[in-house]
Structure 1
Amino acid sequence: MTETSKTPESSKSTGSSKSTESTHITDSSTAPPPLDAAVLKIAGVIVIGAIMSILDVTVVSVALPTFAYEFQTSYANVAWTMTGYTLALATVIPLTGWAADRFGTKRLYVLALVLFVLGSVLCSFAWDVTSLIVFRVLQGFGGGMLMPLGMTILTRAAGPERIGRLMAVLGVPMLLGPIAGPILGGWLIDAASWHWIFLINVPIGVLALAAALIILPKDNAEPSQSFDFVGMLLLSPGLALFLFGVSSIPETQTVMATRVLLPAVVGLILVVAFVFHALRTEHPLIDLRLFQNRSLTVAVVAMSLFAVAFFGAGLLFPSYFLQVRGETTLAAGLLLAPQGLGAMVSMPIAGQLADRIGPGKIVITGMVLISGGMFVFTQLGSTTSYGLLLGALFVMGLGLGASMMPIMTAALQTLNDASVARGSTLMNIVQQAAGSIGTAVMSVVLTNQLQSRELASAAIAAQQSPEVAASLPPGAGETGLAQAADAFGNTFMVALVLIVITLIPAFMLPRKKFEASTDSGVGKRAIVVH
């Protein structure tokens, strides 16, 4: 066995001690230890909470037209029930890493579940759109802590050498949300009322709360670290203002609007100020010194590009089926199922392979699969075969299962226990911010593409209104739908280019097996690369 040293990792523990990382290279092919029952029980608790929070996002997305009708307001106003939730996530996620160290992950996870369930109940009693937005923000405060806390708890329970498979487990709710959300939301609204899309969270939340109290390990909080109030005052409102401005782009149709520029620029200034502050503070809200870890830095770049492309494009898939093909909400949700099914097939396999051969090779394969599926959607027509489209969605699902969670694995695998909470928090901030940017960018590109085609918008409107359809001249509807499909295809081309660019950082991700062990020295950790 040959041995090479690696620069000490700059991740800081909650005290004043530092972690040292060394690398050993060996030819052994020993498989990582299997996941034991205790770890799987913890994973089950985390998955229940994650399913609840992620499912809620996709369920609410199909209810926006219902909210507009019930509260007699515009679609732009009810869209803030989604945006407000996202802004709450952006505000609370930076606090999660410090709070997990200060109060313990179990206590904080229980608090997050309580806030989410309480917010859900209040949302079901909303009397107007303003009250609904306020209660959604409260819900977002709880939901924003669930995913980073879940990743932290799982990583600490399983250890870095098994994190690939645990990330695959945590990826299940990310797949079930887009599949089941539109279907469940459409069914609840049709069969009962919009109130039930929130009330459904109560029994799930109670189950998650009971399981968390019984199963999650006892906290080992270290209250010695001081809280970075200056960092909080810079980063949390900075992220919220920046995302508010970006989220306003589709509504204003221009980046030059005051509503977009003012909050986005102020938010960006606050975030930049936080960067300078964090690099000169002993215990910053988000430890930017983690970027000295090459694997995490490359993973952050890969996740940023991937989230902008994939989550932005994810908004367009149901829109194409609804607007161009004239499908119902329930049918559109069912048509998207192959993507989730593909991911469910590949994600467990990718998780095991990431532990055995390193995440880099898996992510490259995933990006190639997504690129192939996305290319089909760049060639969209108004009558493109559903068989071809469903096959492309399945292939993209295979790629998704081999991409997102292995990227997370690459980021967290080389961090020590003291840095895991901060690392998972950082990755969740990146994912949320990039996803919001991607949604706004793709919305603007699609809107501009549709506006540049004379009959596209009219043909889409005709799909929803017989009166509009009757007013169009003969053949205009078919021509307009063809133009609309072309607009969607050009927008998917933007997503495809970004996915291809993501291959660059993907090639830099670790392509060797990582196996962590603890040396006898205090705070030292070895990583064995096979």
Structure 2
Amino acid sequence: MDADTGDRIDGPLARLIGVMVLGGFMALLDATIVNVGIGTLARHFHAPLDTIEWTASAYMLTLAAAIPVSGWAVDRYGGRAVWLAGLALFTCGSLLCALAWAPGALIGFRVVQGVGGGLMEPTMLTVLARAAGPRRAGRLMALMSIPMTLGPILGPVAGGLINEYLPWRWMFLVNLPVGAVAIALAVRTVPAAVPDGTERKPFDVLGVLLLSPGSVAVMYGLSQAATAGFGAPRVVAGLVLGAAFLLAYVLHALRASVPPLVDLRLLALRPYAASVAVMTLVGGVLFALLFLVPLYYQQVRGHGVLAAGLLLVPQGAGAFLGMPIAGRLSDRIGARALVPAGGAVVALTTLAYTQAGTGASLLWLGACSAVCGFGLGLIGAPTMASVYRSVPAESTPSATGTLYVLNQIGAALGITVVTLLLQHRVSGGATPAEAFGTAFWWMVAAASVLLLAGFSLPGRPAAASGISSPVADEPERTRADRR
């Protein structure tokens, strides 16, 4: 097999990617649809907004609690079992949410969905990274980044259409056929066995009692800070308690007698530490932009939710074009050459929004959003590929857990910072257009930091890794026996 053929994504691996992306995209899309429908849910249940907002917060916090456990579960029970469990919980939770009779029931059922989502997202990356191997990491992550980017962008459009034309229950019922198809396909496609040589680790009880509550407390504090400010007692309590739990986990992980839930010693690998740091920044920049841009169209330009969602589509289209190109190039030239270029593109195109005011051409802003999305595509896939090139195959689940926890914290922090900036400027007498201009200037600065951080990433990958793909390279008869 020549190098080009060996590096191509086709056959069993292509089918595996398609099946897992279907389930992962469902979870990402649902989270955004529900966020758009908060007002609709408040009106239906005749409940105050601060109560209904917990339908989003409960999902996010449960997701943060479940993510660290998924890596251990994959090593212990195999990718197929954990993936099917996550799909089943998410799909059943969706049905229960559609049948909810009160706000409390809806919030409780969102917790079920959150457990499913927390198992699905890291498992998807772990299984596919192992299947592709380091040689094809860039191309794989280019494909994987598509649902991660398009889900939050298409979610407002889907949410706007559902809230405009369908009963609220369809925000959850839409997941049922997708979940059923994803489960049926996963039974035959997702590898069941734990890879040979993988250590079956004992469950790190103390680790989960420290890491999961710590992650939840930090996420809660950041989410509440977006509206109450960092000085609010509940925000201070959440952040201090979360920091204490996470510090205790760090001490435990470095001295544990059993393999820790998330192995922080991997951060001693400089390429991995740099890649995770950049992905944390990417989480902050991406989700802050996904929050700011549609809000600008609503509060400054007077568009509705659906129109604002449609105006966000060019960013998704740009990312859709940029990610495959970046993935293919990153397998040849590495992340260090691509990520700074992507950061420069994001910074330059975001400048247009700092000057947009109330009268900038929507066509011009849409073109800038498309190019900005292309720049984000140059960042995400190469950085994620460098994560999986930097660690041994047996450490993939632990590396994924760390990546997801920090990426989520980065996303929450990004949204919190821009929200507080907007509130501070408006309370100081600025017009909405001026407030958004200031917030977008901060996004230019964040993208510039991302540009500089990109130079710390690994350069050109080794010409030959010698690590084969357990899905693409094994004989067909062996795959059939394993199923």
TM-score above 0.5, yes or no: yes
Q: Secondary structure at the match of 2:465?
A: strand
TM-score (norm 2): 0.93
Partner of 1:336: 312
Partner of 2:294: 318
Q: Is it true that 1:517 corresponds to 2:444 in the alignment?
A: no
Query: Which stretch has the larger CA shift, 226-235 or 178-187?
Result: 178-187
Partner of 2:253: 278
Contact 1:109 1:149 in 2 (8 A): yes
Q: Secondary structure at the match of 1:52?
A: helix
Contact 1:442 1:491 in 2 (8 A): yes
- CA–CA separation in structure 2 for the residues paired with 1:299 and 1:414: 9
Contact 2:335 2:454 in 1 (8 A): no
Partner of 2:189: 215
Q: Is it true that 1:113 corresponds to 2:113 in the alignment?
A: no
Task: After TM superposition, give the deviation of residue 176 of structure 1 in Å.
Answer: 2.4
Task: After TM superposition, give the deviation of residue 29 of structure 1 in Å.
Answer: 9.2
Task: After TM superposition, give the deviation of residue 416 of structure 1 in Å.
Answer: 1.9
1:198 to 158, 172, 187: 172
- CA–CA separation in structure 1 for the residues paired with 2:101 and 2:150: 30
- CA–CA separation in structure 2 for the residues paired with 1:232 and 1:102: 15
Contact 2:58 2:110 in 1 (8 A): yes
- Give the residue type in structure 2 aligned to 1:258: P
Q: Secondary structure at the match of 2:441?
A: helix
Q: Secondary structure at the match of 2:348?
A: helix
- Residues 59 and 234 of structure 1, relative CA distance in 2, 3 Å threshold: same
TM-score (norm 1): 0.85
Contact 1:41 1:215 in 2 (8 A): yes
Partner of 2:354: 378
Task: After TM superposition, give the deviation of residue 226 of structure 1 in Å.
Answer: 1.1
- Residues 311 and 518 of structure 1, relative CA distance in 2, 3 Å threshold: closer
- CA–CA separation in structure 2 for the residues paired with 1:324 and 1:242: 31
Partner of 2:474: none
Alignment of 1:28-107 (within 5 A): 33-107=7-81
Higher helix fraction (1 or 2):
2
Task: After TM superposition, give the deviation of residue 30 of structure 1 in Å.
Answer: 6.7
Q: Secondary structure at the match of 2:202?
A: coil
Partner of 2:117: 143
- Give the residue type in structure 2 aligned to 1:330: L
Alignment of 1:445-464 (within 5 A): 445-453=421-429
- Give the residue type in structure 1 aligned to 2:313: A
Q: Which aligned runs of 4 or more in structure 1 are off by greater than 6 angstroms?
A: 28-31
- Give the residue type in structure 1 aligned to 2:412: S
Task: After TM superposition, give the deviation of residue 231 of structure 1 in Å.
Answer: 0.7
- Give the residue type in structure 1 aligned to 2:397: A
- CA–CA separation in structure 2 for the residues paired with 1:306 and 1:223: 32
- CA–CA separation in structure 2 for the residues paired with 1:32 and 1:299: 25
Contact 1:90 1:433 in 2 (8 A): no
- Residues 219 and 283 of structure 1, relative CA distance in 2, 3 Å threshold: same
Contact 2:134 2:467 in 1 (8 A): no
Partner of 1:503: 451
Alignment of 1:487-502 (within 5 A): 487-502=435-450
Contact 2:83 2:120 in 1 (8 A): yes
- CA–CA separation in structure 2 for the residues paired with 1:313 and 1:499: 11
Partner of 1:434: 410
- CA–CA separation in structure 1 for the residues paired with 2:466 and 2:199: 27
Contact 2:69 2:208 in 1 (8 A): yes
Task: After TM superposition, give the deviation of residue 32 of structure 1 in Å.
Answer: 5.8
Contact 2:84 2:183 in 1 (8 A): yes
Partner of 1:230: 206
Contact 1:359 1:510 in 2 (8 A): yes
* Number of equivalenced pairs: 463
Partner of 2:278: 302
- Give the residue type in structure 2 aligned to 1:59: I
Q: Secondary structure at the match of 1:340?
A: helix
- CA–CA separation in structure 1 for the residues paired with 2:345 and 2:236: 37
- CA–CA separation in structure 1 for the residues paired with 2:68 and 2:200: 19
- CA–CA separation in structure 2 for the residues paired with 1:490 and 1:324: 13
Q: Is it true that 1:263 corresponds to 2:238 in the alignment?
A: yes
Contact 1:46 1:170 in 2 (8 A): no
1:161 to 126, 135, 138: 135
Contact 2:67 2:401 in 1 (8 A): yes
Contact 1:309 1:496 in 2 (8 A): no
Contact 1:238 1:267 in 2 (8 A): yes
The CA RMSD measured in Å over matched residues stands at: 1.7
2:327 to 329, 351, 355: 351
- Residues 31 and 493 of structure 1, relative CA distance in 2, 3 Å threshold: farther
Task: After TM superposition, give the deviation of residue 268 of structure 1 in Å.
Answer: 0.7
Partner of 2:381: 405
Contact 2:341 2:451 in 1 (8 A): no
- CA–CA separation in structure 1 for the residues paired with 2:435 and 2:36: 23
Higher gyration radius (CA): 1
- Residues 493 and 272 of structure 1, relative CA distance in 2, 3 Å threshold: same
- CA–CA separation in structure 1 for the residues paired with 2:375 and 2:395: 29
Q: Secondary structure at the match of 2:261?
A: coil
Task: After TM superposition, give the deviation of residue 389 of structure 1 in Å.
Answer: 0.9
Q: Secondary structure at the match of 2:302?
A: coil
- CA–CA separation in structure 1 for the residues paired with 2:457 and 2:199: 35
Task: After TM superposition, give the deviation of residue 397 of structure 1 in Å.
Answer: 0.4
Contact 1:55 1:177 in 2 (8 A): yes
- Write the deviation string for residues 109-153 of structure 1: whole angstroms up to 9, x where unpaired: 000000000111111112222221211111011111212111111
- Give the residue type in structure 2 aligned to 1:507: F
Partner of 2:479: none
Q: Secondary structure at the match of 2:466?
A: strand
- CA–CA separation in structure 2 for the residues paired with 1:510 and 1:162: 16
Unpaired stretches in structure 2, ≥5 consecutive residues: 469-483
Contact 1:59 1:184 in 2 (8 A): yes
- Give the residue type in structure 2 aligned to 1:500: S
Q: Secondary structure at the match of 1:517?
A: coil
- CA–CA separation in structure 1 for the residues paired with 2:454 and 2:226: 30
- Write the deviation string for residues 501-520 of structure 1: whole angstroms up to 9, x where unpaired: 1222210111212342159x
Unpaired stretches in structure 1, ≥5 consecutive residues: 1-27, 455-482, 520-530
- CA–CA separation in structure 1 for the residues paired with 2:319 and 2:150: 10
Contact 2:95 2:172 in 1 (8 A): yes
Contact 1:93 1:144 in 2 (8 A): yes
- Write the deviation string for residues 54-77 of structure 1: whole angstroms up to 9, x where unpaired: 000111121011112112222222
- CA–CA separation in structure 2 for the residues paired with 1:112 and 1:37: 25
Partner of 1:125: 99
